[in-house]
Amino acid sequence: MSLTLAATLEALLFLSPEPLDADALAAAAEVEIDEVRAALDTLVTRYEQEDRGLVLRELAGGWTLSSHPEAEEAARNLFARPRTPALTPAQAETLAIIAYLQPVSRPEIARIRGVNAESAAATLLERGLVEESGRSQFGAVLYRTTDLFLRLFGLRSLEELPPISAFDPSPELEEELRERLLRAGEARVAG
């Protein structure tokens, strides 16, 4: 099945962050400018006649797809939420430990990581990726992952976490991790 010229132009406009003029569209689609103008007119009519969330607009000497003006309030509500910055390596490592060993305490996380986990755990708690899950026998707060963690990582349940056996570290990293885990295990038994 071959796309119509109108569908091809729609795809090009969707991909472009900037308005595209008819000449650029004609060159990209390898057709005559008159064919592009007719296809753009067809698209404008379709968008006006159908109940669509997009409109085709002529702006700044070119054509662009934009959201329908009546969707503005919903768009503002969606994008008014602050964007969450990416996790730092320390936060990602802490989150992985919690995900695989939950419920787990901050002192246990620190023993496994070999460094203080207070800041990373606090950030994960603040972002809603982990939550408190009671206290250990020694009174330390235990952490577990939240439903938000599952949604953000596209998991239905924790059983869908990749198996640890799929992790293929370098021999040096494997030895370092083995040492840290052995020390953490010994501390947990002695604790």
Shared-domain flag, residues 107 and 74: no
Let me know whether 71 and 96 are in one domain. Answer: no
The answer to whether position 182 is within a domain reads yes
Same domain, 30 and 97: no
Last residue of some domain: 29, 58, 78?
78
Ranges of residues in the chain with a pLDDT under 50 are none
Q: Which amino acid is at 66?
A: S
Supply the pLDDT for residue 185. 64
Same domain, 131 and 99: yes
**Alpha helix positions (H), 20-104:** 22-29, 33-49, 72-79, 89-101
Domain co-membership, 67 together with 95:
no
The answer to pTM > 0.75 is no
> What's the CATH code of the domain at 58?
1.10.10.10
What's residue 31's pLDDT? 94
pLDDT given at position 166:
73
- Confidence at residue 160, expressed as pLDDT on a 0 to 100 scale: 87
pLDDT of 103:
94
Q: What is the pLDDT of residues 19-52, one digit of tens each?
A: 899 999 999 999 999 999 999 999 999 988 888 8
Residues 97 and 185 in one domain: yes
Q: Rounded to the nearest 10 degrees, what angle do helices 5-15 and 22-29 cross at?
A: 120
d(CA 127, CA 95): 12
Query: How far out from the chain centre does Cα 33 lie?
Result: 39
Residue 45 to residue 61: CA distance in whole angstroms: 19
Question: Same structural domain for residues 69 and 95?
Answer: no
Domain that holds residue 48: 5-78
Instruction: Let me know whether 180 and 94 are in one domain.
Output: yes
d(CA 127, CA 184): 27
| Alpha-carbon torsion (15, 21, 26, 32), positive or negative | positive
96 and 182 housed in the same domain: yes
Q: How many domains does the chain divide into?
A: 2
